[in-house]
Amino acid sequence: MIETNPQQNSVKKILPLILATAIFMQMLDSTILNTSLPSIAKDLHESPLNMQNAIISYVLTLAVFMPASGFLADRFGTKKVFIFSLILFSLGSLFCSLSQNLTHLVISRVIQGVGGSLMTPVGKLALIKTFDKNELLKAMNFAIIPALIGPVLGPLVGGYMVDYLSWHWIFLINIPIGVLGIILGLKFMPDYKSDDVDFDFKGFLIFAAASLLLSVSLELFGDMQNITPVLIVFILGFLFLYYYYKHAKKEGHPIFPLNLFQVRTFRVGIVGNLATRLGISSVPLLLPLMIQIAYKQSAVTSGWIIAPMALTAIFGKSSVIKILDKYGYRQTLMINTFIIGTLICMLAIPDIHTSLYWFIPIIAVLGFFNSIQFTSMNTISIADLRNFQTSSGNSLISVNQQLAIGFGIAFGLIVLKIFENSDLIKGETHNAFRYTFLTVGILTILSGLVFRRLHISDGKNMKSKEE
Helix (H, G, I), strand (E, B) or coil at 5: coil
| CA gap 374, 183 in Å, rounded | 28
Determine the pLDDT at residue 337: 93
Instruction: Report d(CA 49, CA 39) in Å as an integer.
Output: 12
| Same fold for the pair 7-197 and 257-467 | yes
| pLDDT above 90 (res 219) | no
Nearest residue to 449 via CA among 363, 341, 375: 341
5 confidence band (pLDDT: 50, 70, 90): very low
R_g (Cα) of the chain, nearest Å:
21
Q: What is the pLDDT of residues 23-76, one digit of tens each?
A: 777 777 766 666 666 677 777 777 665 666 677 778 778 878 888 887 788 888
Q: What are phi and psi of 420, to 5 degrees?
A: -60, -35
Q: What single DSSP character describes residue 297? A: -
Q: In this predicted model, what pLDDT tens digit does every residue of 149-203 receive, in sequence order?
A: 666 667 677 667 766 777 788 788 888 888 888 888 888 788 777 766 677 788 8
Q: Select the CATH number that applies to the domain covering 7-197 from these four: 3.40.50.970, 1.20.1250.20, 3.30.9.10, 1.10.3720.10.
A: 1.20.1250.20
Q: Is the pLDDT of residue 381 over 80?
A: yes
Residue 296 vs residue 107, higher pLDDT: 107
The structural domains of the chain, with segments of one domain joined by +, span: 7-197, 200-254, 257-467
Closest CA to 147 of 238, 244, 20, 274: 20
**More reliable by pLDDT, 435 or 251:** 435
Residue 448 has pLDDT above 50, yes or no: yes
Interval 382-393 mean pLDDT: 77
Backbone φ, ψ for residue 429 (5° rounding): -60, -35
Torsion of CA 157, 158, 163, 168, to 10 degrees: 120
Q: Which fold has domain 257-467?
A: Growth Hormone; Chain: A; (1.20.1250)
For 256, phi and psi rounded to 5 degrees?
-125, 95
- Does residue 242 surpass a pLDDT of 70? yes
**Cβ-count burial of 243 within 10 angstroms (0-12 exposed, 13-18 middle, 19+ buried)?**
middle
pLDDT at residue 458, rounded to an integer: 75
Residue 83: which of 156, 169, 189 has the closest Cα?
189
Give me the numbers of helices (H) and strands (E) for the chain, helices first please: 18, 0
pLDDT at 467 over 60: no
Q: For position 299, what pLDDT does the model report?
A: 67
CA angle 198, 202, 204 (to 5 degrees): 75
Angstrom CA distances, 205 to 107, 219, 259, 323, stand at 21, 21, 20, 41
Task: Tell me the mean pLDDT in the region 398-403.
Answer: 80
Q: How far is CA 444 from CA 21, 178, 273, 425, 450, in A?
A: 30, 35, 11, 23, 11
Q: Residue 48's pLDDT is what? A: 60
